[in-house]
Amino acid sequence: MDKPIVTRNLCKIYQEGRVEVTAVSSADLTLGEGEVVGLFGPSGSGKTTLLSILGCILRPTSGSLMLYGKEVSDMSEADLPFIRKKYISFIFQGFNLFPALTVHENVMLVLKLKGVKGEVAERRATELLTEVGLEERIDFLPRDLSGGQKQRVAVARALAADAPVILADEPTGNLDFSNGRKVMELLKNLAAERKRCVVVATHDNRIEDIFDRILFMEDGKIVREKRRSP
Ligand SMILES: Nc1ncnc2c1ncn2[C@@H]1O[C@H](COP(=O)(O)OP(=O)(O)O)[C@@H](O)[C@H]1O
Ligand SMILES: [Mg+2]
């Protein structure tokens, strides 16, 4: 069975005028189904860049990225949206909800993009929001939710997208301890029950115990790995 994510010698160099910034350097990763992987490291260590490459938002300067055995690093810009739609859900620190749409409509939108229609989509959105504990808030606008609730809507949207790889960039960055844990536990259950591959970039040490594996980044390099003892 092909692994969700395999990278070999992945590099990203940003060109800033005449200066080159190596944001990711020779990253070799193999990430499996059902794994919850933490990408830890100080600000500027390359976490967002690596996550963006894994999510096909950003193309690597060199190296190989395979999603389920398919080489995607050499795909054209035009093919990337298709790859993203098929394989990837993203969760951002800033939630990225549509402010004029209700919680329910925010989730419906993702379902509609997937071709789920009418009442089926309505029911499914309600189910997903119930799953993340927001059944009493489905008609609220994002501005009337707390940070933790907004991030749970973002998780419901990731569930709606139903992609096998879920990438989250600092998802607990704007949340207090207990809301941060709630969101992480939802992601952990998703990995366990639906065999998703979940990668979370963070420097939130309070959630370290959630992860099956932690990769530590420094200056664009993965310098160390810690696995939960079985
Ligand atoms: N679009 C960009 N252009 C130039 N340099 C960038 C860009 N994005 C990030 N960088 C640089 O790449 C390095 C890694 O950044 P980033 O991936 O955002 O790290 P992290 O998410 O760990 O804070 C930093 O030195 C940052 O300044
Ligand atoms: Mg970042």
List, for residues 149-205, the tens digit of each pLDDT value: 999 999 999 989 989 999 999 999 888 898 889 889 999 999 999 999 999 999 999
Residue 230 belongs to a domain: no
* Rounded Cα distance, 221 and 201, in Å: 14
Residue nearest to atom 26 of ligand 1 (CA): 44
Smallest-distance ligand from the CA of 13: 1
Q: 100: CA distance to ligand 1 center in Å?
A: 31
CB 19 less than 6 A from any atom of ligand 1: no
pLDDT confidence of residue 101: 97
CATH of the domain at 156: 3.40.50.300
Determine the atom of ligand 1 nearest the C-alpha atom of 15: 4
Residue nearest to atom 5 of ligand 1 (CA): 14
* Ligand 1 mutation pick, 12, 14, 167, max ligand atoms within 8 A of CB: 14
pLDDT confidence of residue 74: 87
| Count of domains forming the chain | 1
Cα 34–39–45 angle (5° rounding)? 160
Residue 229 belongs to a domain: no
Q: 23: CA distance to ligand 1 center in Å?
A: 6
Q: 185: CA distance to ligand 1 center in Å?
A: 28
CB 20 less than 6 A from any atom of ligand 1: no
Residue 75 belongs to a domain: yes
pLDDT confidence of residue 54: 97
Residue 175 belongs to a domain: yes
User: 149-175: buried (b, 16+ CB within 10 Å) or exposed (e) per residue?
Assistant: bbbbbbbbbbbbbebbbbbbbbbbbeb
Which residues of the chain, if any, have pLDDT below 50? none
**CA 12 distance to own-chain centroid:** 19
Residue 171 belongs to a domain: yes
CB 16 less than 6 A from any atom of ligand 1: yes
Residue 44 belongs to a domain: yes
Q: 106's torsion region: left (phi>0), alpha (psi -120 to 50) or beta?
A: alpha
pLDDT confidence of residue 199: 97
pTM of the model: 0.93
CB 34 less than 6 A from any atom of ligand 1: no
Residue 100 belongs to a domain: yes
User: Whole domain around residue 73: which residue ranges?
Assistant: 5-224
